[in-house]
Amino acid sequence: MTEKTLHIRTYADSSHANNKDLSTQLGFIVCLCDAEDKVAIIGYRSYKCRRFTRSALASKCHTFADAFDYSYLMKYDLEQLLDQRIPIQMCTDSKSLFDVIVRASMTSERRLMIDISATREAYERNEIADIGLIASEYNLSDCMTKIMTPKQLLNVLNSKKLCHPIKQFVIRKSSNQIEWPEKCLSSKRGECREIGNHTEDVVIRS
């Protein structure tokens, strides 16, 4: 792997009320990647949510926050070892969660406001370099929350390559953002459009 282009890419997922006791299963996978799409899985977890969640958005938010906390610890250790900046890219298949974080939209669930505010603050401080919206079929952590054949994960483990389409992501011109690989971007792109929210130079590309 190319040391200068190393970055962390984290996949988070949840299955709302999917267990026999109607509890929610959470899971995430943390990968170390480089600009040539080489990948090594450096962390993962599948666990039952300790809190009762009333919606799929709440479940997604909890696992996203936990996945970022784990990724940030890995980022800190790697930066100490390599003496260089290691950006974090977060991937989710939840459009509602993506919009809540990057568009500063509000949620009606008051219990989620703390977790969402903490995640949004990390995003604004560039502790999260970028957030990508992906299809569920490309979410590596999908198999961590439900009984299924982990086809995408097996492909990554066998090929040691990580490249898949990104449906939507955020371009922040003023940050030291690591770019998504060009071949991962959809060939059918919509026009970039500015959004008036907490970050002045944010545009959404789909």
Instruction: Specify whether the CB–CB gap between 88 and 68 falls below 8 A.
Output: yes
- Confidence at residue 28, expressed as pLDDT on a 0 to 100 scale: 94
- Confidence at residue 15, expressed as pLDDT on a 0 to 100 scale: 84
Instruction: Specify whether the CB–CB gap between 118 and 124 falls below 8 A.
Output: no
- Confidence at residue 149, expressed as pLDDT on a 0 to 100 scale: 81
Rg (CA), the chain: 16
CA-based torsion, 50, 7, 132, 142: positive or negative: negative
Instruction: Find, among 129, 56, 140, 53, the residue nearest to 89 by Cα.
Output: 129
Instruction: Specify whether the CB–CB gap between 37 and 161 falls below 8 A.
Output: yes
Buried b (16+ CB within 10 A) or exposed e, 172-199: beebebbebeeebbeeeeeeeeeeeeeb
**pLDDT digit string (tens) for the chain, length 206 residues:** 888 889 999 999 988 777 777 778 889 999 999 988 899 999 999 888 877 777 888 888 889 999 999 999 999 999 999 999 999 999 999 898 888 888 766 666 677 777 888 888 888 888 898 888 998 889 998 888 888 888 888 989 898 888 888 888 877 665 555 666 554 555 444 333 333 344 434 445 54
pTM above 0.85, yes or no: no
Fold designation for 3-205: Nucleotidyltransferase; domain 5 (3.30.420)
